[in-house]
Chain A
Amino acid sequence: GQNIDQPTEMTATEGAIVQINCTYQTSGFNGLFWYQQHAGEAPTFLSYNVLDGLEEKGRFSSFLSRSKGYSYLLLKELQMKDSASYLCAVRDGDYKLSFGAGTTVTVRA
């Protein structure tokens, strides 16, 4: 099984940077995903890491260290629309996703 930990809540100011950490313990590893979920909506795919290092996608970047069981999602130039929950998910050897409880990010003007 998987044990995935991420902070419950974070607050930041519009235009700032926020880093959401995720640690995991896994019995098999086949990639790490970050999803964004606005209140009352479905999760949507943000990023994927399977090798160590940084993946950059516009204002969002995701980092993975497999040896440390650690990932982070970096949100730059925060906008009000970035207020949402961010879900860290690990895919195991059977190709099944296990999700963390999610981090609610609130962006303040």
Chain B
Amino acid sequence: IAGITQAPTSQILAAGRRMTLRCTQDMRHNAMYWYRQDLGLGLRLIHYSNTAGTTGKGEVPDGYSVSRANTDDFPLTLASAVPSQTSVYFCASSDEASGGVDEQFFGPGTRLTVL
């Protein structure tokens, strides 16, 4: 693994189903993020984690939950999917303790369609 990986690449899901999007990074970054990207709206922050064991809500958290059991993994769960959750989901990470630019690195994305 190099950088950030996400799984699945794409998924079609029936409304009401539960779905977990997976995200793993091997850069030992302390901070991780989940965004959704919709046409005309840009990237919007769903949830974030500043360090393992802690999570926080972003701009659009409703209908989503996250956990951060360790440094590397940051799964995003849709408990009961709805069509408005159709989007492209990006996971990102950054090393906020570096004292430098601390730019975020993005995974390849998961394209989710809820019917």
Output the nearest chain B residue to A85 by Cβ-Cβ distance.
Answer: B42
A1 to B97, CA, bound (A): 23
Residues 27-55 of chain A, each 1 if its beta carbon lies under 8 Å from chain B, else 0? 00001010000000111110010000000
A96-B45 in contact given A43-B90, A48-B101 (Cβ < 8 Å): yes
> Count the A residues whose beta carbon is within 8 Å of the partner chain — how many?
19
From residue 64 to 115 of chain B, which have CB atoms closer than 8 A to chain A? 90, 96, 101-109
Contact residues of B with A, CB < 8 Å?
Answer: 31, 33, 35, 40-45, 48, 50, 58-59, 90, 96, 101-109
In-complex Cβ contact of A43 among B43, B48, B96 (8 A): B43
A31 to B58, CA, bound (A): 19
The residue in B40, B59, B106 that gathers the most chain A C-beta atoms within 10 A of its C-beta is: B106
From residue 49 to 102 of chain A, which have CB atoms closer than 8 A to chain B? 87, 89, 95-102
The answer to whether A42 and B42 have CB atoms under 8 Å apart is: no
A79 to B70, CA, bound (A): 42
A31 to B96, CA, bound (A): 13
In-complex Cβ contact of B43 among A31, A45, A99 (8 A): A99
Q: Could you tell me the distance in whole angstroms from the C-beta of B8 to the nearest C-beta in chain A? A: 15
The residue in A33, A42, A100 that gathers the most chain B C-beta atoms within 10 A of its C-beta is: A42
Output the nearest chain A residue to B3 by Cβ-Cβ distance.
Answer: A42
Q: Could you tell me the distance in whole angstroms from the C-beta of A53 to the nearest C-beta in chain B? A: 16
Output the nearest chain A residue to B102 by Cβ-Cβ distance.
Answer: A95
